[in-house]
């Protein structure tokens, strides 16, 4: 039974590592480094 517990513990650690990496990746990609105002298209000037 101990062998099964060791395998379960190692599997849990692996899943935790993957989950942490996924959260870190999605959190970083959702926040942009620059504001989007500089990427707006230019509007024609009124004469």
User: Residue 4 corresponds to which tokens in the numbers above?
Assistant: 């099964």
Q: Is 30 helix (H, G, I), strand (E, B) or coil?
A: helix
Residue whose pair of structure tokens reads 């707006």 in the numeric block: 40
Distance CA 47, CA 36 (A): 27
Residue whose pair of structure tokens reads 């099964």 in the numeric block: 4
pLDDT value at position 43? 74
In whole numbers, what is the pLDDT of the chain averaged over residues? Answer: 78
Residue whose pair of structure tokens reads 């990427």 in the numeric block: 39
- pTM flag (> 0.75): no
Question: What is the percent of the chain with per-residue pLDDT over 70, rounded to a whole number?
Answer: 66
Q: State yes or no: pLDDT of 40 exceeds 70.
A: no
């Amino acid at each position: 039974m101990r062998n099964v517990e060791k395998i379960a513990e190692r599997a849990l650690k692996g899943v935790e590592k993957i989950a942490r990496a996924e959260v870190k990746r999605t959190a970083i990609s959702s926040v942009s480094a620059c504001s989007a105002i500089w990427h707006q298209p230019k509007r024609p000037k009124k004469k």
